[in-house]
Structure 1
Amino acid sequence: MAFNGNDTDIGLPPNGSYLYRFVAPPDERTRTWPLVESPWNVAAVLATYLLMVRFGPKWAARYKPMQLRVPLFLHSLAMALLNAHIFLELFTASRALGYSYACQPCRVSYSPHEMRITAALWWFFISKVFEFADTAFFILRHKWRQLTFLHVYHHSSMFFLTWAAARWMPSGSTFLPGMINSFIHIIMYGYYAASSLGPRIQRFLWWKRYLTGLQLVQFGYGFIWGAQALIRKCEVSYWALITASVYMLPFLYLFGKFYRNSYGPKAGSKKAM
């Protein structure tokens, strides 16, 4: 993709920024990028994923569970490296532009640092496609208990929301949730890579509960950030802020329930029996 090095904002309305809505024209920078240009692409990928969730376990149950240690390790390592790239691009480019962590309007600019953020947020969206492999591994390994509503809802909804961000708001305040989420995914996929190496390594992975706790902090912070942006009347799409804030609530509940069931007092008493 060839980027224009122009530092000026392009095509801005009189107030200097876009207040995007889903009926508005897509961002000119990403409009033709792979998987972004048509909602039918997103619908087809998402439908394929949900069909895999629905019928994959019935097909896999006919065969013995697979170990897949090498594919698991390679996929997890690749995902950790991809998320590290996304995090570093978002962090360094946003710092170079002096982005605000409280409120940063989305401006259509082709400056080099803005295009770094735009490209990183596109890769952030594409990474959600690669994350569908997590579900495929669960199915092939017969890990039925891990194929939960939380898992499927998280993967499918994040895929749609990151597509919407890449299509309409591929810069501005969108950088912050992308940067935080990619940082957590570096740790998460690092854990998965180490876990796939077998029992000798798994005994050192006692810190899994803190990873879940970190995810809870992420969702809590996301809700608080969206709320403060709304209160301050941040120059970002009202509907995007509402969606971002409300979206965090079911995750706070579902991940909180998972944490309580996995690491709470009742979980400890069950392990002791």
Structure 2
Amino acid sequence: MTFLTEAKDFYKDAMARADKRVEGWLLMGSPLPILMIFILYLLVVWLGPSLASRGRPMSLRAFIVPYNFALVGLSVYMFYEFLVTSVLSGYSYTCQPVDYSYAPLALRMAKVCWWFFFSKVIELLDTVFFILRHKWSQVTFLHVYHHCTMIINWWMGVKYVAGGQAFFTGMLNSGVHIMMYLYYGLAAVGPHMQKYLWWKRYLTRLQLMQFVAFVIHTGYNLTTDCEFPDGFNYAAFLYAISLLILFGNFYYQSYSSRRALHKKGQ
């Protein structure tokens, strides 16, 4: 009973500390909905391949092409909102506390942070499409780790720090996703588009560069006296390092080691 009482008190205290502005927004009132989505996603990853393998792979081109280009449009919108709102608000790129007021620009930043979180929920469909198309090799640990952690991380971000330093991560990632979903959309059009998609390697490099930027940006704030919560800075710093390692390994396995094996074969 003591443990349950302490857990209940901890939950009440955590909810009391949350940003009251976002309490009534979709999926933000309680952690239960996003936890259910998280568990459902893991169940799809676990059971999906065995269930999908009983039938033929689906093309899904009619869904995937507009889906990817819609995410390009959403990413453009979010990048624009992050950039313009931060400039109009006079945001610092070295230390920026969260503005918890109901001022128009403060709410505008909070809203684009919510859209960024919600875009990560939408992007879980990437995995569903891979499974239905029998693209098992695409559902890697990196893929699953990145997707399922982003929805939790950004739920927490919007719930407690909708703005401030967090805008930099959202803005940069939205910019990268413009190019990423443009690539996916063009690739889904058909095999004849492959000759125009020579820049896939550079897209992975761009992803790695954003993680380096996150590590530098967050790491700098850990060494300065900034009013942005240290707990979120530490979490973002460690998370960015984990993604840098995982994506770096992916790049090495996909390009550097393959090139070395090709030269050896010659």
Same fold (TM over 0.5): yes
Q: Which amino acid aligns with 1:227?
A: G
The answer for the alignment partner of 2:3 in structure 1 is none
Name the SS of the counterpart of 1:72 in structure 2. helix
How many angstroms does 1:269 deviate by?
A: 3.3
Give the match for residue 47 of structure 1.
39
On the 8 A contact 1:91/1:179 being kept in 2, the answer is yes
* Paired amino acid for 1:213: R
**How many equivalent residue pairs?**
253
2:164 aligned with 1:167: no
Q: Is this contact kept in 2: 1:261–1:267, CA < 8 A? A: no
Q: CA RMSD in A?
A: 1.6
How far residue 265 of structure 1 moved from its aligned partner, in angstroms, is: 4.4
The whole-number CA distance in structure 1 between the counterparts of 2:121 and 2:86 is 25
Structure 1 238/59 Cα, relative in aligned 2: closer, same or farther at 3 Å?
A: same
The TM-score, its normalising length taken from structure 1, stands at: 0.89
Summarize the Cα distance change of 1:239–1:154 in structure 2 as closer, same or farther, 3 Å threshold.
Answer: same
Choose which of 212, 215, 223 in structure 2 pairs with 1:223.
215
1:121-175 Cα offsets, whole Å, 9 max, x none, are 0000000110010000100010011100000000000010010011001111111
Determine the structure 2 residue equivalent to 1:13: none
Contiguous gaps of at least 5 residues in structure 1:
1-20
Identity %: 42
**Aligned match of 1:58:** 50
Residue of structure 2 aligned with 1:128, choices 104, 120, 125: 120
Residue number in structure 2 paired with 1:147: 139
Q: Report 1 or 2 for greater relative contact order, CA contacts < 8 Å, sequence distance ≥ 6.
A: 1
Structure 2 alignment gaps of length 5 or more: 1-12
Answer yes or no: is the 8 Å Cα contact 1:106–1:173 preserved in 2.
yes
Alpha-carbon deviation of 1:83? 1.1
Tell me the residue number matched to 2:246.
Answer: 254
Give the deviation of 1:197 after TM superposition: 0.8
What is the CA–CA distance in structure 2 between the aligned matches of 1:183 and 1:24, rounded to whole Å? 34
Q: Which letter does structure 2 place at the counterpart of 1:86? A: M
Query: TM-score, normalised to structure 2's length?
Result: 0.91
The Cα of 1:54 is off from its aligned counterpart by: 0.5
Deviation at 1:268, TM superposition (A): 5.8
1:241 paired residue number:
233
Q: What residue number does 1:9 align with?
A: none
CA distance in 1, matches of 2:84, 2:210: 20
Partners in 1 of 2:16 and 2:199 — Cα distance?
44
The correspondence of residues 202-217 of structure 1 with structure 2, limited to 5 A, is 202-217=194-209
- Tell whether the 8 Å contact from 1:229 to 1:241 is kept in structure 2 after alignment: yes
Report the Cα offset of residue 24 of structure 1.
5.4
